Amino acid sequence: MANGSGGRGRFGQLGFIFAAVGSAIGLGNIWKFPYITYANDGGSFVLVYLIAIVLIGLPIMMAELVIGRSTRQSPVGAFVEAAKGAVGGRAWGAVGALGTLGSFILLSYYALIAGWTVYYFGQCLSWSFRGFDTGGQTLGDSFGAFLGNGPLQIGFHALFMAVTVGVVALGVQGGIERVAKTLMPVLGGILILLVVNSFWSPGFGEAVRFLFHVGPVTADGLLEAVGHAFFTLSVGMGAMITYGSYMRSRQSIPRSAAAITLLDTLVALMACIVMFSIIFSVDGAERAGTFGKSATILFTTLPQMFYEMPLGVVLAPLFYLLVGFAALTSTISLLEVVAAYLIDRRGLSRRKASLLSGGAVFLFGIPSALSLGAVTGFSSWAPLGERTAGFFDTMDYTVSNWILPLGGLTLAIFVGWFLSRSKSRDALADGHGDVSRWYFIWRDVLLRFLCPVAILWIIWAVIGGRSFA
């Protein structure tokens, strides 16, 4: 039962940009990107990543927006509608179903991680007023104890899901757009403040040289850059199809997608400057023993480094507030994918759809919350052998390495090979103007060949034992 466009709401032009940028900007920009950039020797990785963003991430995002706006439906219905008259017909709805499933699973553990940022924001407020004191524990031990506390994990997971459900239940304009137009400028302001403060840190010069100095490019770095370029823009899981279905008819898809991509990339690079300026302010031995271990530096090392800096008592809480806001704008888009399916295909009211989908996501996330040391059975569950350790890790591995790449691959194949030229060209031209100068490159070169080959390379690497989780 598809509702079509009736009563679904519309984003304002700026509201769509803010909402879509918020969907793309998340923990991957502020947490994962600096970590993998450091692990892959900085500037060379960044250069390849920027090229991959333009040639892979941007074209697939445009394809998702084309499907979303031209059909005015959530992913399942959007593929069914767009595939009318195409080979395969309604079977293409399975691609939308895969994206919806991916959003559901991803949100179940992403909101858990987002809850950690709330906890550490509170911790930093306490340290800022009372002095930095971990009670004799290292930050690593303290973080481990926090992860192993089942009630705390479930509680902060529930808190973040409750806020997410509340926003989505308020609707496209009254909830998602309003929150995005409030949070994104605040997020940008906090990040700019942190970057400006980085100018005076001892490690700023080395951080900038590391981030933008181009050297040899390794095969591993190339693959990692392609993989992250695909994941960072929220493509392959239906979020941009869903948000695209709320776009205004005369809003340019190419210009909007370019703006979203540019802002997402700028945030990632600014986050690198902030984190590297802190990291490069410590000596090499300490740096190798901290940042080289894992991306959990955000919770195991960074807080102490903040409190060793001038103005750290102000910057530390601001940083975790920034991360929390970035996470919230992403969790909203993930829940909207699932809720929109219930609204469009099952005829539920927005409030019921938001509560039902949010409640289901929360319940499904409980095993992840308990698999970080609280419950042995969930923590040791490893159906994929050595590739995963625990329920949380298994879900992350499944979404990041299989659902998202397969979703992006089938999307590129559908728009490149099965969606009629007239439909995709007209959708791109609507609100933009003549697209004939580059339409062939977008559809017949990038979507038909380059994007599928790049994603197949990612999948082949996963089959060979590589993990992008």
What are the tens digits of pLDDT across the range 185-208?
A: 999 999 999 999 899 888 899 999
At 195 the pLDDT is 93
Q: Is the pLDDT of residue 236 over 50?
A: yes
CB 234 within 8 A of CB 260: no
Separation CA 423–CA 428 (nearest Å):
9
Residue range 156-167: mean pLDDT, rounded: 98
Confidence of residue 229 (pLDDT cuts 50, 70, 90): confident
Residue range 64-88: mean pLDDT, rounded: 95
Residue range 79-94: mean pLDDT, rounded: 93
Separation CA 17–CA 256 (nearest Å):
7
Other C-beta atoms lying within 10 Å of the C-beta of residue 141: 13
Single-letter amino acid code for the residue at 191: L
Confidence of residue 296 (pLDDT cuts 50, 70, 90): confident
Mean pLDDT of the chain, nearest integer: 91
Residue range 32-54: mean pLDDT, rounded: 90
First to last CA, the chain: 35
Query: How many residues does the structure list for the chain?
Result: 469
- Quick one: tokens of 432? 């933009």
Residue range 241-255: mean pLDDT, rounded: 95
At 233 the pLDDT is 85
Q: Which candidate, 10, 4, 82, 73, places its Cα nearest to that of 340?
A: 73
Q: Is the pLDDT of residue 319 over 70?
A: yes
3-state SS assignment for residue 309? coil
At 138 the pLDDT is 84
Lowest mean pLDDT among 120-129, 156-165, 175-184, 220-229: 220-229
At 86 the pLDDT is 87
Separation CA 238–CA 416 (nearest Å):
17
Confidence of residue 4 (pLDDT cuts 50, 70, 90): very low
At 295 the pLDDT is 58
At 136 the pLDDT is 79
| CB neighbour list of residue 90: distance below 8 Å, 6 or more residues apart | 80, 83
| pTM for this prediction | 0.94
| CB neighbour list of residue 361: distance below 8 Å, 6 or more residues apart | 104, 107, 108, 111, 161, 335, 338
- Rounded to the nearest 10 degrees, how much is the dihedral formed by the CA atoms of 468, 364, 2, 14? -60
Residue range 375-393: mean pLDDT, rounded: 92
Q: Please calculate the CA angle 132-324-361 and round it to the nearest 5 degrees.
A: 125
Confidence of residue 283 (pLDDT cuts 50, 70, 90): low
At 310 the pLDDT is 80
Confidence of residue 285 (pLDDT cuts 50, 70, 90): very low
Separation CA 290–CA 302 (nearest Å):
9
Other C-beta atoms lying within 10 Å of the C-beta of residue 263: 19
Confidence of residue 290 (pLDDT cuts 50, 70, 90): low
